Amino acid sequence: MTDTEYLPQYGFTEALSYNHPKLKGLAPVAVAQFLNSGVYPKAGIQYARVKSDFTLFTWLVHELKESGNTDYFLLLRYTPEFSDRFSLFTQLELISALPSDQSLNYNIIQRLRLGGKWNKWQTGFGADFGQSGRSTFVNSNNLGIFLRYEF
């Protein structure tokens, strides 16, 4: 690690949205993203459709600071039941940070999950892929198993 690369990273994102039934899944959203590099307020629009075996959640938000990023997020989850206790678990996440400042890099992540769901536990194969750059991209990937619990 150096002072500028491979620093320990932390971050979490909190969102507040107004989901009125008349909006049919569309909602305005306010976001606060807390990273080791600072706090980033964002605002935009989201869409959510949640059923017992299918979830579609997406948002497009823009950072309110000068020269901020525009973030696009998509979560697709499909969990058809095979029995009372077991379901297939499939998930796709797309995360894109699109900078408005020409000196900053694009950061794009894809996460795939394929496995099984027993009660509130999910496990299976996971793959994370990332690209970062502007004209030339650095690629990264992480393949392995995942274990997840739904609270």
For the record, the structure tokens of 21 come out as: 């039934």
For the beta carbon of residue 125, count every other beta carbon within 10 angstroms: 12
> Which residue ranges make up each domain of the chain?
45-149
Cβ atoms 36, 1 nearer than 8 A: no
Mean pLDDT of the chain: 92
Cβ burial, residue 39 (10 Å; 0-12/13-18/19+): exposed
Give me the pLDDT at residue 103, please: 84
CB 34 within 8 A of CB 11: yes
Name the pLDDT band for 2 (thresholds 50, 70, 90): low
Helix (H) or strand (E) holding 3: none
**Residue 10 binned pLDDT confidence (cut-offs 50, 70, 90):** confident
Q: What does each C-alpha distance from 134 to 83, 101, 104, 123, 140 come to in angstroms? A: 47, 11, 7, 35, 15
**Runs of H (alpha helix) within 1-118:** none
Q: Is the pLDDT of residue 38 over 90?
A: no
Tell me the average pLDDT across 29-39: 90
